[in-house]
Amino acid sequence: MKTALLSHPDTQGHVGLDGYQENPNRVMSVMTALEDSRYDFLIRESAPHANREDLLRVHPPAFVDFILETTPPEGEFVHIDYDTALSPGTADAASRAAGAVCHALDGVIDGRFKNAFCATRPPGHHTEPERAMGFCFFSNIAIAAQRARQVHNIQKIAVVDFDVHHGNGTQAALWDTEDMYFGSIHQHPHYPNTGVSLEKQGKGFVRNIPMPGGTSAADWRKEYDAVILKDVDSFKPDLILVSAGFDAHKDDPLGEFNLLDEDYHRLGAQLQTLANVHCDGRLVAALEGGYNLDALARSTCAFIDGLQSA
């Protein structure tokens, strides 16, 4: 199976204060793990800058301008909220993170590859159309979904978000879009404290599965399989987009779920199997969270192995 890996050195340019958990070492740890010769099969492509038109499919012009044109002097920051601040390299990194999912989308649709993983940062699933928050600047997966609809005329899209945090931004961007499915399984109560059971039912279908901290991997799997996997299978999408956050891992410092490395293999295999059945294999995944560097690297490799196994 042809799998693309998208990344770019600019994704390292977005930095925070000392101790900032969403830091450049995250993508570095993933890319270092994927240098192993067993990943020679990956089609490695450079993440381009996002087109302005793609950003505007989700965000208003003033918001896009603010993110792209705010460049503080070296060593300084422009704070948006407690854990979201623009550094001198943020605009380039955020632009390439959004550009990566669009480029990956185009590649799976024109058949250059079957599926793709975007090893980029900053993540995107907390950013709402007019509000950057929670380490996120552009709503990357929602942008790819709207590009798929508006440029490629692919309307039925399933977005699956297995990050430990609720994908409030993706939900806000897509819930009123017809033929969209958004499913998120996440810790609750926990940041950002949204995503309490079917809280948004617009033209699209939103499925939220809030579960308490301490949930076992077995209980997580049972709920995910019975609800989200089943939903996606019944929905019969033409494309699957994945908010691949790896902070539901038992070793993650920001979450209190207990997934193991092999759960991410299972997630990759299950989602790719559904993509093979319904979407001619088309699946694009983008890195969201994951803050234990070793667990993040292992989980990403396991997820990619899972995609390959399907």
Scan residues 243-262 and list those touching Zn ion (CB under 5 A). Answer: 245, 247
d(CA 307, CA 202): 31
The count of other CB atoms within 10 Å of the CB of residue 250 is 16
Q: Using the rule CB under 5 A, is 121 a contact of Zn ion?
A: no
What strands, in cross-sheet order, belong to the sheet with 205-211?
43-46, 3-7, 115-118, 283-287, 239-244, 157-161, 180-187, 205-211
Helix (H, G, I), strand (E, B) or coil at 124: coil
Candidate list 149, 165, 190, 207; residue touching Zn ion; CB under 5 A: 165
Nearer to Zn ion by C-beta: 119 or 310? 119
Q: Which of 10, 45, 128, 163 is the binder for Zn ion (CB under 5 A)?
A: 163
- Which of the following is catalytic: 103, 125, 126, 265? 126
Give SS3 for 9.
helix
Q: Contact between 122 and Zn ion (CB under 5 A)?
A: no
Decide if residue 290 touches Zn ion (CB under 5 A): no
Task: State the minimum distance, in angstroms, from the CB of residue 88 to Zn ion.
Answer: 25
How near is the Cβ of 245 to Zn ion at its closest, in Å?
4
* Nearest C-alpha neighbor of 144 from the set 189, 188, 97: 97
Given the complex with Zn ion, which of 122 and 306 has the nearer CB atom?
Answer: 122
At its nearest, how many Å lie between Zn ion and the CB of residue 186? 8
In the complex, the smallest distance separating the C-beta of residue 163 from Zn ion, rounded to whole angstroms, is: 4
Residue nearest to Zn ion (CB): 289
Which alpha helices (H) appear in 118-260, and where do they start and end?
140-150, 168-174, 217-223, 230-235
126 is catalytic: yes
- For the chain, what's the residue count? 310
d(CA 88, CA 76): 8
134 scored as a contact of Zn ion (CB under 5 A)? no
Catalogue the active-site residues: 126
List interacting residues with Zn ion (CB under 5 A). Answer: 163, 165, 245, 247, 289
